[in-house]
C-alpha cells in the first residue's frame, strides 16, 4: 500500500469506527493531512473537550493523549504509538512537588501541560506555551512555583515582572540542546531572515529572537508577517509545514538537530494499525486507561487552564 492508499484506508476506517484523529503540529505532513484536528497542545486540549466521536486517536506524545482522556472521559482515547512519551513530562513526580509545596506552601503551583496526570493532581493550574503568560498574569497570587520547564519559566518570569516566580531545573532536551552559537550561525547564513523561537529554548537563545512564542504563535507570526525569510527555532516539522503552506516565503530550521524523536515515533502505518485495532476490538490499539479518581483529581488544573486561558 502506498501513502495515498493508506490515507484513503484510514479515512474509511475513521468513518466506520467513529474515530476522530487529533495530531500535534509536530507530526509529519502525511499524518496531519488525515487528522480531524491539528494544532498545538492548548488547541488540541480545547478540541478534545468538544469532540462528539466515540473514539479519539491521538498522534503525539503520551501526556497529550492523557489530557484528551481527562477532558473526554466518556470517550475511548488511544495513542497511535504507545512508545511516544515526552521526557520532560517524566522529570518531576507528585512526591517531589508535594515535598516542595510543604516547605513553601504559599505559592500557586503552575504546571506546564507537559506533565503526567499523577503530577497534575498536586498542581493548581496548567499552562501551555501559548497560554502561560496570560494565565500567570491572571493568577491573583503573586507567588508562583512554575514546573517543570525552567526555560519556559524564565520566559514567563521576564514577562511577568510583578510576580515572584520560583523555577526548578527541568526542561525539554530537544529545545534546550540549541545554543546561541547555532543562532549566530543560522543568522550568518540567512542574514535577511527573522528568527522565531519557542520559549522552551534557553534564555540566551530566546534573547536573540525577533519573536518568541508557542508553536501556534510562531505559525501565526510567520503567516501574517510581510517578511519573506524566517529561521524557525522549534521542532523542524514546523519549518516544513510552513514551507508547504506559504510557498512564496522561505523557512529555515534553526538546526537540523531540533528534532523531537518521540514525536517522530508515530508513523502513518501506526495510525492505520491503531484504527484496525479499534475496528476489530482485539485490544491491539493502545488505549489510555485511567481510573475515575485520577481523572477527577487531575482535571481540576486543566479546567482552570481553560477557564483562565480561554
Ligand atoms: P506547544 O505547547 O507549543 O504545542 O508545545 C508542545 C511541546 O511539546 C513543545 O515542545
Ligand atoms: Fe517533549 Fe520536547 Fe518533544 Fe515537546 S519537543 S514533546 S517538550 S521532548
Give the sheet arrangement for strand 164-167, strand by strand.
125-127, 108-112, 143-147, 164-167
Give the pairing type, strands 37-39 and 19-24: parallel
Please state the atom number of ligand 2 nearest to the C-alpha of residue 234.
5
pLDDT of residue 43: 86
Burial 24-57 (b: 16+ CB within 10 A, else e): bbbbbeebbbbbebbbbbbbbbebbeebebebbb
**Pocket mutation for ligand 1, best pick of 22, 25, 26, 221 (most atoms within 8 Å of C-beta):** 26
Q: Which ligand is nearest to the CA of 260?
A: 2
Rounded to the nearest angstrom, the distance between the alpha carbon of 260 and the centre of ligand 2 is: 6
91 by Cβ neighbours in 10 Å (0-12 / 13-18 / 19+) ranks as buried
Report the pocket of ligand 1 as residue ranges, CB < 6 Å: 40-41, 114, 128-130, 172, 200, 214-215
Rounded distance from Cα 114 to ligand 1 centre (Å): 8
For the chain, how many residues are written? 310
pLDDT for residue 5: 97
Q: Can you give the pLDDT at residue 154? A: 96
Place of cell 492508499: 5
What's the gap in Å between 60 CA and the centre of ligand 2? Answer: 10
Query: Which atom of ligand 1 is nearest to 86's Cα?
Result: 8
Low-confidence ranges of the chain (pLDDT < 70): 310
Amino acid at each position: 500500500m502506498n501513502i495515498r492508499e493508506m490515507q484513503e484506508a484510514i479515512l474509511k476506517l475513521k468513518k466506520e469506527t467513529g474515530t476522530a484523529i487529533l495530531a500535534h503540529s509536530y507530526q509529519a505532513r502525511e499524518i496531519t493531512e488525515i487528522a480531524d484536528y491539528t494544532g498545538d497542545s492548548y488547541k488540541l486540549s480545547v478540541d478534545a473537550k468538544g469532540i462528539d466521536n466515540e473514539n479519539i486517536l491521538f498522534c503525539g506524545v503520551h501526556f497529550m493523549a492523557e489530557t484528551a482522556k481527562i477532558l473526554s472521559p466518556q470517550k475511548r482515547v488511544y495513542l497511535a504509538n504507545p512508545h511516544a512519551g515526552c521526557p520532560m513530562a517524566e522529570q518531576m513526580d507528585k512526591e517531589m512537588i508535594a515535598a516542595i509545596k510543604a516547605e513553601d506552601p504559599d505559592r500557586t503551583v503552575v504546571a506546564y501541560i507537559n506533565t503526567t496526570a499523577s503530577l497534575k493532581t498536586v498542581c493548581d493550574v496548567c499552562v501551555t506555551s501559548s497560554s502561560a503568560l496570560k494565565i500567570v498574569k491572571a493568577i491573583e497570587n503573586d507567588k508562583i512555583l512554575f514546573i517543570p520547564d525552567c526555560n519556559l519559566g524564565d520566559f514567563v518570569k521576564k514577562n511577568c515582572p510583578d510576580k515572584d516566580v520560583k523555577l526548578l531545573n527541568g526542561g525539554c532536551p530537544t529545545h534546550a540542546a540549541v545554543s546561541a552559537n547555532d543562532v549566530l550561525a543560522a543568522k550568518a547564513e540567512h542574514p535577511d531572515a527573522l528568527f522565531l523561537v519557542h520559549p522552551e529554548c534557553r534564555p540566551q537563545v530566546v534573547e536573540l529572537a525577533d519573536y518568541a512564542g508557542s508553536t501556534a504563535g510562531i505559525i501565526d507570526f510567520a503567516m501574517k508577517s510581510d517578511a519573506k525569510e524566517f529561521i524557525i527555532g522549534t521542532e523542524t516539522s514546523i519549518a516544513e509545514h510552513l514551507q508547504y503552506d506559504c510557498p512564496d516565503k522561505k523557512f529555515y530550521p534553526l538546526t537540523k538537530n531540533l528534532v523531537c524523536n518521540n514525536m517522530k515515533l508515530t508513523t502513518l502505518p501506526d495510525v492505520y494499525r491503531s484504527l484496525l485495532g479499534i475496528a476489530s476490538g482485539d485490544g491491539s490499539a493502545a488505549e489510555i486507561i485511567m481510573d475515575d479518581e485520577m481523572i477527577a483529581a487531575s482535571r481540576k488544573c486543566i479546567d482552570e487552564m481553560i477557564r483562565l486561558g480561554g
